[in-house]
Amino acid sequence: MNQQHDIHDDPHLKRNPFKAPEGYLESLEEKILSLAGIVQNEEVREVVTSSRGSRWFNVLKPALLLACTFGVIFGMGYGVLRLTGTLNKPSDTEDSYYAKMIEKGLIRSSFIYPIEEELGYEDFDDEEPVFDEEEVVTWLATQYSSMDLAQLYYDEK
């Protein structure tokens, strides 16, 4: 092979071999200046500055989209549950049957009421029980012997 081409100081090689499309360089200044109207007025500066905000939005966009997708899926699931009546539905259907019966007044809502009525208590919980001391003594005397009572008294001490 002949002597290697010296590229060090070859002016031909250092010449730029690329061309720009016709008229491109002539219109370059105008194009850049009119780009988003950057230098036309101060308002545009604000537009350019506000584009920084939109850049943040672009960064957050995937996360927001993901959150929205979850929201939509959750919403659809909730809607389906609401429509099918699964949500807040009592697990035992008989309960709702009894609830309806109670609502209609066909049965009482609690078994305590009949007992209260039987005993004749109006306000079962509120009333303080009244004990007659003599009755208690008589009752104890009939139930326990004097030895048992003494033993109970001793245990209590």
Structural contact between residues 36 and 48, judged by C-beta atoms closer than 8 angstroms: yes
Q: Which two tokens stand for residue 34?
A: 């009119």
Closer CB to other proteins, 6 or 155, in the complex? 6
* Minimum distance from residue 57 beta carbon to other proteins (Å): 17
Residue 104 found at the interface with other proteins (CB under 8 A): no
Closer CB to other proteins, 38 or 67, in the complex? 38
Q: How far is CA 18 from CA 8, 14, 15, 24, in A?
A: 20, 12, 9, 13
Binding residues for other proteins restricted to 56-85, rule: CB under 8 A: none
Residues with Cβ within 8 Å of 107's Cβ and at least 6 positions away in sequence, in order, are 98, 101
Neighbours of 131 (CB within 10 A): 8
Residue with tokens 């109207």, as numbered in its chain:
37
* Minimum distance from residue 81 beta carbon to other proteins (Å): 42
Q: Per-residue x/- mask for other proteins, residues 10 to 49, rule CB under 8 A?
A: --xxxxxxxxxx--xx--xx-xxx-xx-xxxx---x--xx
Which residues of the chain form contacts with other proteins (CB under 8 A)? 1, 4-5, 7, 12-21, 24-25, 28-29, 31-33, 35-36, 38-41, 45, 48-49, 52
